[in-house]
């Protein structure tokens, strides 16, 4: 470092945006001992630091997959068609809180929440409306769901079957990452082991029957939104993924048979270069794990395909139009980091579910980056940067340190039960709030350049949505074959008490129009509940 830069570094100190100190200037000495051939490689080749595709986005940009779901299945179907009309290239479904928790809309615990934070789904009948007029053989659909994910997948497959679409043509992603629920989001019901059985059963079923589908999206997004920093998000997500892989192998599956059915989901925050480094380091760590530790033979098995979403927690209710700028830079970081698909948040999401206008701006943000900015012209344009490679190495090192600490507990579940993840995230979130209060961290419109701005119109959900959904559910229960429903649920309980794969009896129950709450309730009678995580 030259004398001017050295003096400036002493005066300014480390950045307040990251836990990783940043120097004023980087040169060749930052990469002393760096083996470019081993740690960087070529795009599309091990260790995939520079991306999993040799030509990047030159031929086809990432999948533009805007998160959508509100009110009823018909309302969300209308939003899907609106987005597809405006150039979206993949669907992404948001479900309301009762659906996320496996509760029917007429359950007392669902009161006031039906259709509020996503679409309300109670039965196959809702899915038939949700995807009405949409060819499931042509569209790729992501579903953000965890505890009842196998039930929602069964509904999706049943709709595809009614459309005459073979399961082997079905494309999409199911979130299903239950470990991150125990770590961060807390949308779990059963104890960890039976929950993991559901996850593994679903993956195994899809590997055999729905081979083009990603039955799990191992998610760092919610870990980050809960307060983790970039390194914690990466380490905890990869540790979860490693756990699933090891469990599937222990079941007798060959790693090369299921590796390409795994996908990942990351949050992209405001620290532009750190987020790019995080995604690059993640691919490298995963490639080493799959190749060197798990012995995967196929190059495809070493790859880490990812979906990214801009940071919901970074959005501000104050001066919400500023969020358009935040989302633009976050989306650009995701693209430069090599994501395979991307959701851009809408500027009004700190206030309510997004309006059509806000969603369109968010989608246009991706399209402008893809078609006007030039970032798709070459693969990994920052590759070889002194700063970025140094930062990638540091993220890699710190993430691996955390992964080793998790292994010292005996794995993810023992670390969960010891309270490790919660303590780590809580400490980081506390430091963030202290930095914000002290002004060491600045958020424009909140603690710097704050001023009253014009409040935008927001999407409002009235009570008629809930009453209408409950009315339709009650009507379904009257006209379906209730004897068949009881029969399929009883058969599901028998399989749950044994060791068979749970997907076939779940699919049978769904086809009989058993409700989500009835299916989850049947499993609860066998598996029990897991109300708290012991610290």
Q: Report the alpha-carbon distance of residue 309 to residue 303 in Å, rounded.
A: 19
pLDDT at position 401, please?
A: 97
Tens of pLDDT, residue by residue over 387-412, are: 999 999 999 999 999 999 999 999 99
Write down the number of H helices and E strands in the chain. 21, 10
Q: How many CB atoms within 10 Å of residue 76?
A: 26
Helices of type H across 439-515: 464-479, 482-497, 503-511
Q: What is the arithmetic mean of pLDDT over 29-55?
A: 91
HSE at residue 242, side-chain half, CA atoms within 13 A, is 27
Q: Report the alpha-carbon distance of residue 66 to residue 18 in Å, rounded.
A: 28
Q: How many CB atoms within 10 Å of residue 44?
A: 16
Identify the band that residue 92 occupies on the pLDDT scale cut at 50, 70 and 90: confident
Identify the band that residue 37 occupies on the pLDDT scale cut at 50, 70 and 90: confident
pLDDT at position 2, please?
A: 44
Q: What is the arithmetic mean of pLDDT over 431-457?
A: 85
Structure tokens at 44: 């599309």
pLDDT at position 10, please?
A: 45
pLDDT at 9 over 80: no
Structure tokens at 443: 């958020």
Tens of pLDDT, residue by residue over 495-513, are: 999 999 999 999 999 999 9
pLDDT at 532 over 90: no
Residue 171: strand pairing partners: 140
270, 326 Cβ separation under 8 angstroms: yes
Percent of the chain with pLDDT over 90: 77
CA nearest to 326, candidates 347, 351, 306, 342 = 347
Identify the band that residue 199 occupies on the pLDDT scale cut at 50, 70 and 90: very high
Q: What is the DSSP letter of 83?
A: H
pLDDT at position 470, please?
A: 95
Distance from chain centroid for Cα 499: 29
Q: Print burial letters for 414-428: b (CB count within 10 Å at least 16), e (below 16).
A: ebbeeebbbebbeeb
Q: What is the arithmetic mean of pLDDT over 338-349?
A: 93
Q: What is the arithmetic mean of pLDDT over 363-373?
A: 95
Structure tokens at 405: 């600490």
Give the CATH class of 28-438: alpha beta
Q: Report the alpha-carbon distance of residue 5 to residue 87 in Å, rounded.
A: 46
Enumerate the domain spans of the chain: 28-438
Distance from chain centroid for Cα 507: 24
Q: What is the arithmetic mean of pLDDT over 225-235?
A: 96
Q: How many CB atoms within 10 Å of residue 494?
A: 11
Tens of pLDDT, residue by residue over 242-294, are: 999 999 999 999 999 999 999 999 999 999 999 999 999 999 999 999 999 99
Among 111-120, 394-403, 409-418, which is the least confidently predicted range?
111-120
CA nearest to 291, candidates 282, 283, 302 = 302
CB burial of residue 10 (10 Å; 0-12, 13-18, 19+):
exposed
Structure tokens at 170: 């079905």
The position carrying tokens 């979860």 is 240
Q: How many CB atoms within 10 Å of residue 531?
A: 8
Q: How many CB atoms within 10 Å of residue 311?
A: 19
Contacts of the segment 494-502: beta carbons below 8 A, 24+ positions apart: 496/522, 496/523, 496/526, 496/527, 497/526, 501/201, 501/204, 501/205, 502/150, 502/197, 502/198, 502/201, 502/202
Q: Report the alpha-carbon distance of residue 529 to residue 526 in Å, rounded.
A: 9
DSSP helix/strand/coil, 273: helix
Tens of pLDDT, residue by residue over 298-335, are: 999 999 999 999 999 999 999 999 999 999 999 999 99
pTM listed for this prediction = 0.91
Identify the band that residue 101 occupies on the pLDDT scale cut at 50, 70 and 90: very high
3 state SS for 278-303 = HHHHHHHHHHHHHHHHCCCCCHHHHC
Angle between helix axes 482-497 and 516-527 (nearest 10 degrees) is 30
CB neighbours of 326 closer than 8 A, spacing ≥ 6?
Answer: 270, 310, 311, 314, 315
Tens of pLDDT, residue by residue over 128-168, are: 999 999 999 999 998 988 889 999 999 999 999 999 999 99
Angle between helix axes 516-527 and 149-163 (nearest 10 degrees) is 140
Q: Report the alpha-carbon distance of residue 515 to residue 495 in Å, rounded.
A: 18
Total residue count of the chain as it appears in this document: 535
The position carrying tokens 């615990």 is 109
72, 119 Cβ separation under 8 angstroms: yes
């Amino acid at each position: 470092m030259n004398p001017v830069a050295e003096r400036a570094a002493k005066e300014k100190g480390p950045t307040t945006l990251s836990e990783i100190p940043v120097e004023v200037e980087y040169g060749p000495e930052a990469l002393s001992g760096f083996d470019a051939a081993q740690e960087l490689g070529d795009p599309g080749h091990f260790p995939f630091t520079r991306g999993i595709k040799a030509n990047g986005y030159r031929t086809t940009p990432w999948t533009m997959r805007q998160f959508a779901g509100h009110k009823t299945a018909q309302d969300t179907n209308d939003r899907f068609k609106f987005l597809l009309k405006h150039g979206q290239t993949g669907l992404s479904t948001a479900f309301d809180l009762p659906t996320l928790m496996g509760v029917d809309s007429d359950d007392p615990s669902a009161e006031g929440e039906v259709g509020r934070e996503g679409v309300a789904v109670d039965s196959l009948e809702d899915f038939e409306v949700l995807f009405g007029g949409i060819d499931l053989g042509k569209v790729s659909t992501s579903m953000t769901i965890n505890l009842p994910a196998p039930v929602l997948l069964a509904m999706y497959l049943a709709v595809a079957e009614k459309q005459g679409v073979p399961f082997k043509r079905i494309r999409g992603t199911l979130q299903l990452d239950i470990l991150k629920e125990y770590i961060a989001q807390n949308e779990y019901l059963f104890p960890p082991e039976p929950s993991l059985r559901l996850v593994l059963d679903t993956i195994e079923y899809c590997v055999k029957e729905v081979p083009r589908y990603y039955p799990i999206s191992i998610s760092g997004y919610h870990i980050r939104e809960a307060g983790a920093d970039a390194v914690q998000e990466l380490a905890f997500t990869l540790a979860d993924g490693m756990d699933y892989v090891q469990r599937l192998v222990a079941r007798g599956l060959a790693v090369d048979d299921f590796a390409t059915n795994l996908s990942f989901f990351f949050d992209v925050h405001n620290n532009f270069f750190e987020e790019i480094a995080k995604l690059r380091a993640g691919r490298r760590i995963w490639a080493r794990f799959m190749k060197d530790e798990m012995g995967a033979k196929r190059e495809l098995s070493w790859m880490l395909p990812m979906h990214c979403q801009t940071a919901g927690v970074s959005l501000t209710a104050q001066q919400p139009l500023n969020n358009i700028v935040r989302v633009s830079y976050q989306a650009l970081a995701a693209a430069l980091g090599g994501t395979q698909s991307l959701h851009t948040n809408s500027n009004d999401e700190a206030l309510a579910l997004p309006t059509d206008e806000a969603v369109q701006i968010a989608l246009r943000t991706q399209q402008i980056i893809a078609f006007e900015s030039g970032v798709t012209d070459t693969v990994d344009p920052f590759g070889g940067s002194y700063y970025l490679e140094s930062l990638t190495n540091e993220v890699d090192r710190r993430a691996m340190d955390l992964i080793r600490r998790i292994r010292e507990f005996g794995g993810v579940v023992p670390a969960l039960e010891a309270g490790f993840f919660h303590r780590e995230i809580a400490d980081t979130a506390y430091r963030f709030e202290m930095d914000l209060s002290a002004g060491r961290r600045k958020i424009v419109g909140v603690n710097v350049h704050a001023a009253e701005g014009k409040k935008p119109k927001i999407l409002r959900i009235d009570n008629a949505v809930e009453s209408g959904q409950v009315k339709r559910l009650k009507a379904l229960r009257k006209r379906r074959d209730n004897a068949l429903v009881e029969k399929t649920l009883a058969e599901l309980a028998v399989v749950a008490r044994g060791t068979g794969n749970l997907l076939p009896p779940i699919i049978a129950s769904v086809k009989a129009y058993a409700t989500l709450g009835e299916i989850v309730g049947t499993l609860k009678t066998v598996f029990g509940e897991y109300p708290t995580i012991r610290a």
